[in-house]
Amino acid sequence: MTRPGGRSARVRDAVHDAVVELLAAGEIDAAIPKIAERAGVNPTSIYRRWGSREALLLDAAVTRLRSTSPIPDTGSLRGDLLGWAEGVEHAMRDRHGQILLRALVATMGPAEQPVEYLRARGEDLQAALDRAEGRGEPVPTVDEVLDFVLAPLYLRVLFRRPIGPGTAAGLVDRLFTALRAGPAPRAGRGG
């Protein structure tokens, strides 16, 4: 088990910072030895911890998102999703957040299962939905939250479209409007 601080955390932070700095400098294809040099660590430390550049990029992106847009517990699902979505909006309006997302998407290969970092982020979201369901609130699925809220924010970054203040709130409102309207007919099923 990794200690929540100490040398391990310092190495992780230095490596994450080096990745973001190199990406921001336009070095999209920076190899692990270059990242290690920038971070002031041995390349074997990176290979041992992350295994590949792609896994490192994913960890850096998810760690950044978890710190900039945690899923709060406000006592209402709308409040939880709004707080989370506004954090994502803020992160996606930041140049480094945009660079990291674009690099991550560019390096991800096809996979049958979501990698552990993305699975953990989905579990965070599911926990918020479970809390709301426990309070008796109507609850969307994780996929509906991704489709209505997260995907539009990410697509705006990928297509270099602006994300104005209040975009996240509008997306959360759209999700709740759809939730109140009930399930949509599924394509190809007699509708």
Number of domains in the chain: 2
Question: Does residue 47 share a domain with residue 76?
Answer: no
Question: What is d(CA 186, CA 119) in angstroms, rounded to the nearest whole number?
Answer: 26
Instruction: Determine the pLDDT at residue 116.
Output: 64
3-state helix, strand, coil in the chain (%, to 5): 70, 0, 30
Question: Does residue 119 share a domain with residue 89?
Answer: yes
Q: What CATH number is associated with residue 27?
A: 1.10.10.60
Instruction: Determine the pLDDT at residue 186.
Output: 52
Q: How many CA atoms lie within 13 A of 100 on its CB side?
A: 24
| Residue 87 domain-assigned (yes or no) | yes
Question: Does residue 38 share a domain with residue 74?
Answer: no
Question: Does residue 162 share a domain with residue 75?
Answer: yes
Question: Does residue 151 share a domain with residue 97?
Answer: yes
User: Nearest 5°: CA angle at 19, between 53 and 101?
Assistant: 80
Question: What is d(CA 68, CA 142) in angstroms, rounded to the nearest whole number?
Answer: 20
Range of the domain at 1: 1-51
| Residue 122 domain-assigned (yes or no) | yes
Instruction: Determine the pLDDT at residue 183.
Output: 66
| Residue 63 domain-assigned (yes or no) | no
- Per DSSP, 131 falls in state H
Question: Does residue 101 share a domain with residue 20?
Answer: no
Instruction: Determine the pLDDT at residue 191.
Output: 39
Question: Does residue 175 share a domain with residue 99?
Answer: yes
Instruction: Determine the pLDDT at residue 182.
Output: 79
Question: Does residue 161 share a domain with residue 123?
Answer: yes
Question: Does residue 175 share a domain with residue 101?
Answer: yes
Question: Does residue 145 share a domain with residue 97?
Answer: yes
pTM for the whole structure? 0.77
Question: Does residue 173 share a domain with residue 127?
Answer: yes
Chain position carrying tokens 């390096």: 107
Q: What CATH number is associated with residue 145?
A: 1.10.357.10
Question: Does residue 74 share a domain with residue 47?
Answer: no
Question: pLDDT by residue for the chain (191 residues), tens digit each?
Answer: 344 467 788 999 999 999 989 888 888 788 999 999 999 999 999 999 999 888 888 888 878 877 877 899 999 999 999 999 999 999 899 888 888 888 878 777 676 555 666 777 788 899 999 999 999 999 999 999 999 999 999 999 999 999 999 999 999 999 999 999 876 555 444 43
Q: How many residues does the chain have?
A: 191
| Residue 115 domain-assigned (yes or no) | yes
